[in-house]
Amino acid sequence: MTKNILILPGDGIGQEVSTSMKEVLHYLIEEQSLDFKITERNVGGSSYDEFGTPLTEEALKIAKDSDAILFGAVGGPQWDNLEWDNRPEQALLALRKSLSLFANLRPAFLFNELASASPLKNNIIENLDILIVRELTGGIYFGEPRGIVENESPKYGFNTMIYNEDEIRRIAKVAFEAAMNRNRKLCSVEKANVLEVSKFWRSIITEMGSEYPEVELSHQLADNTAMQLVLNPNQYDVIVSGNLFGDILSDIAATLSGSIGMLPSASLNSSSQGMYEPCHGSAPDIAGKGVANPIAMIASLAMAFEYSLDRIDIAKRIESAIKIFISNGLRTKDIATSEEFVQTQDVAPALINILKDGHE
């Protein structure tokens, strides 16, 4: 059956890294005779400039009908002063909400050759390979009631942290299943010592643990996890957390691996439809200079093959091509240790050569 893929390159380096990703995708489509229908649309600031909105109804409809959406990055100073509804980031939020992309998967890994790019000492960071599963459509970011009350003294602001049983179960299922495909360790992170919602979260996760007896389940308080990620990150395999704590912990984990230009992400719904994007933004400071690292975007394509396109074999090939690229000493500017580095446009051809070698 034909798989539908929507490419939304976006703004700044989103365009450049998407071009590299498309080269790899088109090579694989041809090599494997894949039955894919590819559509591309503007999103973010570039969509606003053309259509007066960061996400057109048409693009949203195509997204809803797609198996995988490959999203570059959006934003830039020229759109910073737009009213809230027209800001580039609104496109991301609208896509996540309309497609119910509740599970955000963010791997954090380190190629040992790049250990010097990490802020941590080599002996702490070597062999880092963690997956953070963050709940993305619930919790305090969406809970009601919320607001700012100005007509009382003192004035106040408030939000509601709320998770129902179904929301916890569906994210837990994603995390337990990811752990089953990895090293079978799952750490659930919350603040059960002070928050009722966390106590409830812990009870549901514990209950679900009995369905996955092969997974070693642990529970940790979020402040401790923040510390442990820096002190001993290799104790983790998969971490599952709610929206707020997951947001903070996944950024800490991303920093450990040195360059944000290397890290992909996936946001999935319950029908395995997914949006795949690099963890970085549109990097206006380097846009157009040919120095953006497209590996996060190409690794996001690998995640799309694994989670939405039913071709884990191709996902593994892309990931091992990236490993070989790094062990061959090839470096974009962000991860280079000398003055020599490869330009953005040289990365995809080098990866395709590695893929071809492995295929012969």
The residues binding ligand NAD (CB under 6 A) are 13, 17, 73-76, 89, 92, 260-261, 277, 280-286, 292-293, 296, 334
Are 355 and 348 a contacting pair, CB within 8 Å?
no
Minimum Å gap between C-beta 223 and ligand NAD is 25
Minimum Å gap between C-beta 77 and ligand NAD is 7
102 token code pair: 């509740």
Nearer to ligand NAD, 5 or 296 (CB): 296
223 catalytically annotated: yes
In the set 3, 11, 22, 191, the catalytic residue is: 191
141 catalytically annotated: yes
DSSP designation for 77: G
Minimum Å gap between C-beta 133 and ligand NAD is 18
**Residue 277: is it exposed, middle or buried by C-beta count within 10 angstroms (0-12/13-18/19+)?**
buried
In the set 49, 65, 80, 223, the catalytic residue is: 223
Beta bridge partners of 6: 39, 69
Nearer to ligand NAD, 260 or 326 (CB): 260
> How far is Cα 336 from Cα 269, in angstroms, rounded to an integer?
37
> How far is Cα 300 from Cα 306, in angstroms, rounded to an integer?
10
289 catalytically annotated: no
Nearer to ligand NAD, 137 or 188 (CB): 137
2 token code pair: 């034909």
Are 76 and 45 a contacting pair, CB within 8 Å?
yes
At residue 186, what are phi and psi to the nearest 5 degrees? -130, 130
Nearer to ligand NAD, 93 or 324 (CB): 93
48 catalytically annotated: no
In the set 27, 129, 141, 346, the catalytic residue is: 141
Nearer to ligand NAD, 284 or 349 (CB): 284
169 token code pair: 């179960």
In the set 129, 185, 251, 346, the catalytic residue is: 251
Minimum Å gap between C-beta 72 and ligand NAD is 7
Beta bridge partners of 69: 6, 275
Minimum Å gap between C-beta 257 and ligand NAD is 13
Q: What is the dihedral of CA 264, 324, 313, 296, to 10 degrees?
A: 10
In the set 11, 67, 237, 247, the catalytic residue is: 247
Count of other CB atoms within 10 angstroms of residue 128: 23
191 catalytically annotated: yes
Residues labelled as active-site residues? 141, 191, 223, 247, 251
